[in-house]
Amino acid sequence: MIRTNFGAGSRPLPRRRRTTIVYGILCFVLTLVIVQLWLLTATMSAYLGGDDSVIWPAAFASLVCLGLNLGLLRYLIALERG
């Protein structure tokens, strides 16, 4: 059992719930990574075709995805520390 400081009060969080939360985070992270993969391949294709109009918007979108992932990582680390 670990304790978490999320929410009101400090309640112990059973491992089963922790694992469920990790599964949920993993689903979000995988979705975002797939979006990033698509962005990278589409940008590369556009770049090789001489179209540079999408490069910076795609880089920004990918950065936003990374930001969301880092937020989830922060939550994951906090979950471990309890």
Residues near other proteins, by CB under 8 A? 15-16, 18-19, 22-23, 25-26, 29-30, 32-33, 36-37, 39-40, 43-52, 55-56, 58-59, 62-63, 65-66, 69-70, 72-73, 76, 80
Structure tokens at 51: 């179209």
Nearest partner of 80 among 13, 11, 7, 9, judged by Cα: 13
**CA–CA gap between residue 33 and residue 29 (Å, rounded):** 6
Closest distance to other proteins from the beta carbon of 7 (Å)? 20
Judged by beta carbon, residue 8 or residue 45, the one nearer other proteins is 45
